């Protein structure tokens, strides 16, 4: 027994230093600003980090074998500049170096002029990051400034590739720029990789693996980063218990976002707005100065953000004024005003509608000439008032109907009836109107040409909410042609489902859009056939609803998509595109599907009393409440909803191939307004159908029919 104790004491005394050495945290020398993302991450991880502002002093302090990180504080304007002697001394001291955005590395040919890229993303090029981050895996790195270099076997390259998480077509046919490579005792990044939080790189789990590898390579020890910094996050986690007032708070934040983002145009920055709007074809520019004044709706409301994130984490704006946005936003404002008992929102809603009808070119000129075939139509935008999309007209008008009901006013009833009937008289024999009509054609051919044409267009994205307007107006007025044409079109569309449907960015959005007219058809004629049509689409839509409430996107039949999966690397970013690459990708879309499904499911649940619909609606409301954007750093994003959400990772991620409307796009109309307004409807347990039933539009119906169809004798 005595021998055993002596032996154990021997082991304890002589092995303790070796055991302790295993857990000693290595010293890390850091040259860069204290606000650098990596520096703050290493500190939070509890590592021993000694920081210097000057890389020469940092190297002087470093001891043999230690790790020295030199980061680019002045990215992208200035590269890191180090003398040749710096590298000689580091090598002599056996210092492990990480250097980023340096135009001069001994033995490496690097171009001193940075190349600014937009659609390019990082692509894993080797196996060094482990089995969970394989070659061809994609990394998001926004607004990347890269120093072109000639390097063999880089670990990460920058390239424009198609795919969600993987470069689906490889990288052999694209121009590539090394982003991260290793040489002797150096790890070299040709851009600022340490900008991952401020620059909003993604997805988080992939970047965790990248930095875990880099830090291990530098220090010799493996680290798992538990708390990853992010300045733009979902409002709530997946499993967090929601506060009792979560939905109400969602509405408040959602409607205040218009103000925070300074989307209400103010005369003080009108010239700047007009500059970036241009002719409306590329209305992109930096965000509105956050010190600028914000309007009250009198001069209209901007669309929101494009899906371009700058290197500093701010996001590009879309400086465009569209008619649908004005009407839709008015609905959200009036709904929020009703729920929150805040008349300020009513005033702004009133201003937006007045702007659209009376104080802009959206319903002026030929659109306000009673003898014109364009009379009553609403222009697409202030730059394109001569283009008339039926669907855009429908959403604007439905929004104004909802706003009128919440504000208990009929002041725009005449314009509402004229708008619906102007679209109806340019709808063909079978009840289809098509994508859009241009004023020059309408003036030349006359409205009768469109009313009498044989035309089939099984595309709910463009047709279905126009049909919803016709059904709503029929219910209010009893004008039978509205019901007859609409029923004919709906029947033909349902008989064509799904193989003959023309889908835009996915089949899910078409289903989501079609639910609304079917729900209202049930309200008018509650037949077994109509209920069956509705249930076919709702059930199929909900097959893709997951436990969190998210509705997974889905591509339709091959060859039927207007904008299907990206066909090549070269095609990435050239036109509209889905957020997914293949069916099964865990992505929800708040621009085309979930927003409209939310509103439509509420109508379907109330029309049928179906508990399955109601349960799905509640789950979707919960999901949307959770994924609303939270950001203290970027106030213009706080309270918004992005287009894309990856619900397995629980972060904002997707294929950013869509030209201008990708992952991080926001839209004050389509997305924000329908989500906010439907949150109010569900909080008050009412449908839009019930909300608007007391409308007195009937008073304007006969005079409008007489005028537009020349029936007055």
pLDDT digits (tens, 9 = 90+) for 180-211: 999 988 999 999 999 999 999 999 999 999 99
How long a stretch of residues is the chain? 713
DSSP secondary structure code for residue 252 in this structure: H
Alpha-carbon 184 to chain mean position: 42
Non-local CB neighbours of 631 within 8 Å, separated by 6+ positions = 231, 232, 233, 637, 638
Alpha-carbon 54 to chain mean position: 40
Closest CA to 626 of 333, 293, 239: 239
Task: Decide if 638 contacts 315 (C-beta within 8 A).
Answer: no
Q: How far apart are the first and last CA of the chain?
A: 121
Confidence (pLDDT) at 6: 41
Confidence (pLDDT) at 581: 96
Confidence (pLDDT) at 26: 76
What are the CB-based long-range contacts (under 8 Å, 24+) for 563-568?
563/504, 563/505, 563/658, 566/162, 566/163, 566/655, 566/657, 567/162, 568/162, 568/169, 568/173
Confidence (pLDDT) at 25: 67
Task: Decide if 160 contacts 170 (C-beta within 8 A).
Answer: no
- For the chain, the maximum distance between any two Cα atoms, rounded to a whole number of angstroms, is 122
- Domain 28-219 has what CATH class? alpha beta
Non-local CB neighbours of 644 within 8 Å, separated by 6+ positions = 579, 587, 588, 589, 590, 652, 653, 654, 662, 663, 664
Closest CA to 146 of 86, 185, 188: 188
Non-local CB neighbours of 396 within 8 Å, separated by 6+ positions = 323, 324, 326, 327, 328, 356, 378, 419
- Tell me which architecture the domain covering 246-709 has in CATH: Alpha/alpha barrel (1.50)
Task: Decide if 443 contacts 366 (C-beta within 8 A).
Answer: yes
The pair of three-digit structure tokens given for residue 209, joined into one six-digit string: 């693996």
Cα 348 from Cα 475, distance rounded (Å):
29
Return the exposure string of 535-569: e unless at least 16 CB atoms fall within 10 Å of the residue's CB, then b.
Answer: bbbbeebbebbeebbbbbbbbbeeebbebbbbeeb
Cα 138 from Cα 584, distance rounded (Å):
18
Non-local CB neighbours of 228 within 8 Å, separated by 6+ positions = 41, 204, 207, 208
Confidence (pLDDT) at 24: 58
Neighbours of 484 (CB within 10 A): 13
Closest CA to 603 of 497, 506, 681, 495: 681
Task: Decide if 267 contacts 298 (C-beta within 8 A).
Answer: no
Name the strand (E) or helix (H) holding 303. none
Closest CA to 30 of 217, 189, 194, 188: 194
Alpha-carbon 1 to chain mean position: 72
Cis bond upstream, residue 498 (ω within 30): yes
Confidence (pLDDT) at 701: 98
Q: Please report how many Cα atoms fall inside a 13 Å half-sphere around the Cα of residue 254, on the Cβ side.
A: 37
Non-local CB neighbours of 408 within 8 Å, separated by 6+ positions = none
Name the strand (E) or helix (H) holding 455. none
Phi, psi angles (nearest 5°) of residue 124:
-65, 130
The pairing of beta strand 48-52 with beta strand 315-318: unpaired
Cα 136 from Cα 123, distance rounded (Å):
5
**What does R_g of the chain's alpha carbons equal in angstroms?**
29
Confidence (pLDDT) at 504: 92
Q: What is the pLDDT of residues 369-407, one digit of tens each?
A: 999 999 999 999 999 999 999 999 999 999 999 999 999
Cα 31 from Cα 616, distance rounded (Å):
52
Three-state DSSP at 180 gives strand
Closest CA to 87 of 184, 182, 178: 184
Residue pointed to by tokens 């039978």: 480
Domain spans in the chain, listed from the N-terminal domain onward = 28-219, 246-709
Residue ranges in the chain whose pLDDT is less than 70: 1-25, 712-713
Cα 414 from Cα 423, distance rounded (Å):
14
Cα 115 from Cα 104, distance rounded (Å):
16
Cα 573 from Cα 566, distance rounded (Å):
9
Alpha-carbon 474 to chain mean position: 35
Question: Taking the C-alpha atoms of 192, 194, 199 and 204 in order, what is their torsion angle to the nearest 10 degrees?
Answer: 130
Residue pointed to by tokens 């329908």: 674
Three-state DSSP at 522 gives helix
């Amino acid at each position: 027994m005595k021998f055993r104790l002596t032996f154990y004491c021997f082991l304890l005394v002589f092995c303790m230093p070796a055991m302790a050495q295993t857990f000693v945290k290595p010293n890390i020398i850091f040259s860069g600003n204290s606000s650098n993302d990596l520096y703050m991450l290493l500190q939070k991880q509890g590592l021993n980090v000694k920081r210097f502002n000057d890389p020469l002093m940092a190297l002087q302090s470093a001891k043999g074998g230690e790790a020295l990180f030199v980061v680019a504080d002045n990215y992208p304007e200035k590269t890191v500049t180090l003398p040749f002697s710096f590298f000689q001394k580091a090598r002599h001291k056996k210092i492990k170096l990480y250097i980023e955005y340096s135009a001069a590395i001994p033995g490496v040919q690097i171009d001193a002029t940075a190349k600014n890229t937009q659609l390019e993303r990082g692509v894993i090029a080797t196996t060094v990051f482990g089995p969970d981050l394989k070659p061809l895996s994609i990394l998001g790195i926004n607004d990347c400034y890269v120093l072109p270099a000639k390097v063999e076997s880089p670990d990460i390259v920058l390239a424009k590739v198609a795919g969600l998480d993987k470069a689906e077509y490889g990288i052999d046919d694209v121009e590539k720029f090394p982003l991260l490579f290793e040489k002797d005792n150096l790890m070299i990044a040709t851009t600022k990789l340490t900008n991952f939080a401020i620059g909003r790189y993604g997805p988080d789990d992939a970047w965790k693996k990248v930095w875990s590898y880099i830090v291990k390579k530098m220090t010799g020890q493996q680290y798992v980063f538990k708390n990853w910094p992010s300045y733009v996050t979902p409002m709530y986690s997946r499993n967090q218990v929601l506060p009792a007032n979560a939905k109400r708070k969602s509405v408040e934040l959602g409607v205040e976002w218009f103000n925070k983002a300074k989307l209400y145009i103010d005369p003080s920055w009108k010239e700047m707005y007009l500059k970036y709007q241009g002719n409306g074809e590329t209305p992109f520019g930096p965000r509105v100065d956050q010190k600028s004044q914000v309007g009250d709706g009198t001069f209209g409301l901007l669309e929101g953000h494009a899906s371009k994130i700058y290197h500093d984490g701010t996001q590009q704006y879309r400086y465009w004024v569209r008619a649908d946005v004005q009407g839709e936003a008015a609905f959200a404002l009036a709904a929020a005003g009703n729920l929150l008992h805040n008349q300020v929102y009513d005033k702004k809603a009133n201003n937006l509608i007045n702007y659209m009808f009376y104080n802009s070119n959206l319903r002026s000129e030929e659109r306000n000439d009673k003898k014109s075939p364009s009379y009553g139509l609403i222009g697409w935008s202030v730059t394109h008032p001569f283009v008339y999309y039926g669907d855009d007209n429908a959403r604007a008008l439905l929004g104004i109907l909802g706003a009128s009901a919440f504000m208990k006013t009929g002041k725009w009833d005449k314009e509402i009836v004229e708008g619906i009937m102007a679209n109806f008289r340019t709808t063909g024999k079978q009840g289809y109107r098509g994508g859009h009509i241009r004023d020059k054609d309408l003036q030349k051919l006359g409205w009768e040409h469109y009313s009498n044409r044989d035309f089939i267009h099984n595309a709910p994205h463009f047709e279905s909410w126009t049909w919803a307007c016709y059904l709503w107006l029929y219910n209010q007025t009893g004008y039978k042609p509205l019901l007859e044409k609409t029923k004919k079109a709906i029947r033909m569309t349902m008989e064509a489902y799904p193989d003959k449907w023309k889908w835009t960015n996915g089949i899910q959005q078409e289903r989501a859009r079609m639910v609304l007219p079917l729900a209202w058809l049930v309200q008018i004629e509650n037949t077994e056939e109509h209920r069956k049509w509705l249930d076919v689409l709702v059930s199929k839509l909900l097959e893709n609803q997951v436990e969190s409430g998210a509705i997974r996107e889905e591509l339709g039949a091959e060859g039927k998509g207007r904008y299907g999966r990206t066909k090549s690397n070269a095609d990435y970013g050239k036109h509209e595109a889905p957020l997914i690459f293949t069916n099964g990708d865990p992505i929800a879309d708040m621009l085309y599907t979930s927003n409209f499904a939310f509103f439509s499911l509420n109508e379907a649940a109330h029309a049928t009393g179906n508990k399955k619909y109601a349960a799905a609606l509640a789950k979707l409301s919960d999901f949307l409440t959770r994924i609303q954007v939270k950001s203290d750093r970027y106030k213009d994003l706080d309270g918004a909803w992005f287009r894309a959400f990856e619900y397995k990772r629980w972060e904002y991620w997707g294929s950013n191939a869509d030209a201008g409307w990708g992952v991080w796009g926001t839209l004050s109309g389509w997305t924000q307004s329908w989500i906010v307004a439907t949150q109010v409807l569900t909080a008050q347990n009412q449908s839009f159908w019930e909300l608007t039933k007391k409308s007195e539009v009937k008073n304007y119906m006969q005079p409008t029919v007489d005028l537009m169809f020349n029936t007055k004798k």
